[in-house]
Structures are given as C-alpha cells and as structure tokens.
Amino acid sequence: MEVLISLTAKVAEYTVAPIGRQANHLLSYKGNFKELADRVNELEAERVTTNRSIEHERRNMREIKPNVIKWLEEVNEIIEKANQLQRDPRCAKVGCSVRSFPNLILRHQLSRKATKITQEVVQVLNKGKFDQVGYLNALDSAAFSNSFSTRGGVMFETRELFKEEIVKALEDSNACSIGIYGLGGVGKTYLVKEVAQIAKQHKLFDAVVIANISKTPDIGRIQGEIADQLDLSFGKETITGRAYLLRQRIKAEKTILVILDDMWPSFELEKAGIPLVDKHTTRILDKQNAKQNVEQNVKQNVCKLLITSRNKDVLLEKETQEEFTFRLDLLSEAETWRLFQYMAGEKVNDTRLQNVATQVAQKCAGLPLVIVTVARGLKNKDIYAWKDALRQLESVGHAEMDAI
C-alpha cells in the first residue's frame, strides 16, 4: 500500500502540478498582462528617478558608475521587450473563437510569455537599488597638470628641498596654517599640487582638498571646487547656506588639509565655509559651541590650511603662522637654463642660436611659467623669431612680470 501511495504521489508531482500551472496561464491571462503592465510602470518610474540622479551627478562633474549604466541598458531592453508583447497583434485575437470557443492555444502562449517577462522585469527592478549612481575620480598627477607640468623631467634640488620643508611643516603638530609666497609665475601652484599628491600618497591626512582663489574670487565656484572633492552635494543655493554645509563637511573629517592657492585680501575664509583653526591645537574653532564642546569633552578634528599668495602680508592677514610662512624664490641662472633647454629642445645648442637663446632665457627672470611659455613658443622656430622674442622680452619690466 505504501508503495502504491508513493507511486501515486510521484505521478501527481509530474502530471497534476504541471497541468495546474498550464491551466493557470489560461485562467489568469488578463491578470498576467495586468501584472506585467504594473511592473513595467514601476520599472519606468525607477528609471526616471535614476536618470534624474545621473543628471545631478553630471552637473557636479562626477562620473557615472558602470553598473548603473549597464542597469539602464537592461531596463531599456526589458521594457522594449514588454512593449513588443503588449503591441503584439495576436493579443487582439485571443478572444477569437473556433465554433464560439476562445483561441485557447494562443491565450496560453501569450499568458505564459507575459509571466516570463514579468519575472525578468522584477529581477531588473531589484537590481536597480543604488545607494549612489556617481563617483569622483581620484585626483592624480594628470588632474593637477598645468602649463608647465612637463618640467617634471627636470629636477631642481632647491625646489625639492623647499617641498620637503613644506611637507615637514604639515607633519609638525605645532603648524596649523602654513603659507607660501612669491612672485606670480614662480611656481607656487605647481608646488602645492605636488605637495597635495605627497600628502595623499603618504596618507598624511584623511582628506586633501585644493581650490584656486584668484584676485576676484567667485565664492560659489570655490565652494563647488572643494565640495566636489569631498563628494558633497549642496541642497542650498545661497552662499551662506552652502558655507554652513561645507563647514560641517570639513569638520566631519578626522584630519583634513585644505589648500587655498593664489590668496588675495578680498577673500573671506569663513564666508566661504572654510573653518578657522586654533593655532595652538590645529583643531577647528567652533565659536558658537566652543564652551559646550569643552564641557561635554567633544572631540575636535584636526584641520590644516596651506595657503599661497604673492604677498606675505596677505598670508599673515589670513592668520598663517609666521614661523611656518615660506618664500619661494626664483630659479637660479643655472636652473633657468636647464629648464629652458628642456622645453625648447636641443636646437638651443646650435651655435647660430645659442647666444640669442641664452639672452632670451635670462630675460625670463627665473620664473618657471615664463620660461616654459617662451621656450615652448620658440621651439623649432628660426633665428628671426628668437630675435623678435628677445626684443619683446627686453621691453617688459619687472612690474609686468609680477602681473603674470
């Protein structure tokens, strides 16, 4: 008897259950198509939401994650597949009859196909739950390149020593606000970008951000530059609102280096959202909550500022520590010629050009930016172009050079 029961159960498993599923396709034809339509609507809504997030990320100069792009492709494919089924002219024929009976075979085929596609739609829908759709590219040396970045092929001992001194200051627990000053074009920007790379590579800080200030600072742009590097999206449009969010984001980092390049007197750090730093503790000052933080023993995170300017007084006005304020000097005559040769090419050693080339290099006044610009412009040019360049440089005074 037990054998007979077992056999009967096995027969039912392989016959009754499949027959039930097939019958369900016939009986639930309309329900299956409605379920497909509902799920497709859900997926389309999710696609709209994701596309809006993508637009937002792209406006903030972020890259879109590859898995998000792939998901959108899958979404488009499955929605088109569902639409093709719903547009299938055979769907209008399922009510057709043979001697007044519905076309059961066609109804079964289409219902079964709708169920299968619905399952695929649900699978794609479940894959579309993204915490973030975009990301920031890690800042590397290529992102920091500027008009004279190729001088990396020429090593200057004086600059290397200067750079080491700045890095040493960053590691000094007594330094909270470090300054670098020197003439325009002397290489301050290039140097602090190299320092930023060192700080990142050696993990001196949890976060390193850099922004260019300029003579006529655009606070909104500056806030945006820093926010992008901290992966911060502003939900506010006012300068004050953005400054609050930026300040809170900077304070959220355990250790952070904020580099402000080309500082001018008109720029207000606090107005932009750059927090003040306690010179004695290198910790962020919070004027409003200072007493409360002390009473509650709230841990204050470390923030250091590295600021460059043409004028030392501007740095001191922005409260850089004088003992950690350094002057970046011009290149020596020998360094100038090495860089000039490197950028202009071997042609400068031609006996017909060497004399005028030497004079042109001297007129570049030891400023890397001028050296690189002039040398590149004269590369492969004839002697007449070189002489013309020399005449133009001779007419440029020191004031014009400093205005670069």
Q: Give dist(CA 232, CA 213) in Å, integer.
A: 19
Asked if residue 332 lies in contact with residue 361, where contact means CB atoms within 8 angstroms, the answer is no
User: Which has the higher per-residue pLDDT, 15 or 24?
Assistant: 24
| CATH architecture type of domain 149-327 | 3-Layer(aba) Sandwich (3.40)
Does pLDDT of 365 surpass 50? yes
Which pLDDT score is estimated for 27?
Answer: 55
Asked if residue 32 lies in contact with residue 67, where contact means CB atoms within 8 angstroms, the answer is no
Q: Give dist(CA 167, CA 188) in Å, integer.
A: 14
Q: Does the CA dihedral 216-321-225-183 come out positive or negative?
A: positive
Tell me the C-alpha to C-alpha distance, in Å, between residue 148 and each of 85, 210, 260, 301, 348: 60, 18, 20, 36, 19
Which pLDDT score is estimated for 97?
Answer: 47
pLDDT band at 144 (very low <50, low <70, confident <90, very high): very low
Q: How large a percentage of the chain has pLDDT more than 90? A: 46
Mean pLDDT of 308-312: 95
Mean pLDDT of 145-169: 71
Mean pLDDT of 231-245: 86
Burial (Cβ within 10 Å: 0-12, 13-18, ≥19) of residue 237: exposed
DSSP string, 99-118: TTEE-HHHHHHHHHHHHHHH
Asked if residue 274 lies in contact with residue 306, where contact means CB atoms within 8 angstroms, the answer is no
At a CB cut-off of 8 Å and minimum separation 6, what does 379 contact? 343, 344, 345, 347
Q: Give dist(CA 45, CA 143) in Å, integer.
A: 37
User: Across the chain, what does the average pLDDT equal?
Assistant: 80
Does pLDDT of 12 surpass 70? no
Convert the pLDDT of each residue in 286-307 to its tens digit: 544 444 444 444 445 789 999 9
Mean pLDDT of 274-292: 59
pLDDT band at 371 (very low <50, low <70, confident <90, very high): very high
The lowest-confidence range among 142-156, 271-285, 334-348, 362-376 is 142-156
Which pLDDT score is estimated for 298?
Answer: 41
Structure token digits, residue 376? 């590149």
Q: Give dist(CA 277, CA 287) in Å, integer.
A: 11
Structure token digits, residue 1? 């008897």
Which pLDDT score is estimated for 282?
Answer: 53
- Based on DSSP, count helices (H) and strands (E) in the chain, helices before strands: 16, 9
The type of residue at 340 is: F
Does pLDDT of 233 surpass 90? no
Which pLDDT score is estimated for 281?
Answer: 54
Q: What angle do CA 404, 158, 327 make, to 5 degrees?
A: 50
Bridge partners (DSSP) of residue 107 are none
Asked if residue 398 lies in contact with residue 184, where contact means CB atoms within 8 angstroms, the answer is no
Q: How large a percentage of the chain has pLDDT more than 70? A: 75
Q: Give dist(CA 158, CA 186) in Å, integer.
A: 13
Mean pLDDT of 6-18: 47
Which pLDDT score is estimated for 402?
Answer: 56
Token match 């031609």: residue? 350
Asked if residue 301 lies in contact with residue 254, where contact means CB atoms within 8 angstroms, the answer is yes
Convert the pLDDT of each residue in 51-107 to its tens digit: 888 887 775 556 888 899 999 999 999 999 989 888 877 765 555 444 445 566 777
Instruction: Compute the radius of gyration of the chain from its Cα atoms.
Output: 34
DSSP 148: T
Asked if residue 402 lies in contact with residue 310, where contact means CB atoms within 8 angstroms, the answer is yes
Does pLDDT of 349 surpass 70? yes
User: Which has the higher per-residue pLDDT, 146 or 256?
Assistant: 256
Mean pLDDT of 117-131: 90
- What does DSSP say about strands 177-181 and 325-327: parallel, antiparallel, or unpaired? parallel
Distance of CA 230 to the CA centre of its chain: 8
